[in-house]
Amino acid sequence: MSRKVSIAVEHFPIAGTFTISRGSKTEASVVTCRITEDGASGIGECVPYARYGETIESVVAQIESASADIQAGMGREELNRRMPAGAARNAMDCALWDLEAKKSGATVASRVCAKPPKPLTTAYTISLGEPAAMAAQAAIWSHRTLLKVKVGTPDDRSRIRAVRAAAPASDIILDANEGWTPRTLEMHFDVCVEAGIALIEQPLPSDDDAALASIARPVKICADESVHKTEDLAALVYRYDAVNIKLDKTGGLTEGLRMRAAAQALDLQVMIGCMVGTSLGMAPAVLLAQGADFVDLDGPLLLAKDRHHGLHYDGSLVYPPTTGLWG
């Protein structure tokens, strides 16, 4: 066995500007890890996220640090024991899954999905902005079954009402990105009930979410920044109704599969989400999302340009990846 690890940093322009409560960006910067062995090659993509203290440089350094062990034959389980959860491990873990599939001829889907994977209804994200601008975005995409709407200001009531009026038939997830407070929660709950919101994602900062355990939740609440790995789940049962599993947080598909099973065993609903990345980063998540309660894998739709052999989107549906892309 002779392995080689290579790393690349790539930048993909976003179609317009993507804005959440923490700021805006105009391009998606991703890190890819490629592992070659005996003529076969596997690849994985990750998106470093500043909210978790990650940068392009720190993630590349983490992959470089682990490369010698990978080249010496370290597999996914040992990688998960040695390396912390996060973007770097995600790229390496998914590259190993892809390499295993290429070497064995058995697709990742055949190994992780109980049934052949099917197209899934995915959310489409509406960026944070002024109410009229968000309503205009929502009107364009109102034909979609599910919209995910970025909020997270001290008072989002006018935004919520404007989007609902512009997309009366769509199911709506709100993502506050930790932007609300216990003091503003009740007034936002009231308008969410009025607007028929399906789910609210991470309304409070992760270090202030204990308040959710002691208040009535008239709308289901989903943890995002408060949950990274399987060990986090038990403490969230009384605070949240659902959890958002993102491979860049869990550190790869291996941990993502464990986390999904553990969440379902705790009667937590499951959302499979993503950072803003290419189809390569979404591909393993589409397989993980089979059977999930909510799917938010629209990253490539936000880009001006995607990869070759990218995921196929048709209306509200995202289709499983082809082996030309990954797995």
Residues marked active site are found at 150, 246
For residues 60 and 87, the answer to whether their CB atoms sit within 8 Å is no
Largest Cα separation within the chain, whole Å, is 61
Amino acid at 274: C
Q: What is the CA radius of gyration of the chain?
A: 19
Residues near 165 by beta carbon (within 8 Å), at least 6 away in sequence: 135
Pairing of the two strands 294-295 and 313-314: unpaired
Report DSSP letters for 120-144, one per residue. Answer: EE--EEEPP--HHHHHHHHHHTTTS
**Distance separating alpha carbons of residues 64 and 52, to the nearest angstrom:** 19
Element (H, E) at 125: strand 124-126
**Distance separating alpha carbons of residues 126 and 99, to the nearest angstrom:** 35
For residues 85 and 246, the answer to whether their CB atoms sit within 8 Å is no
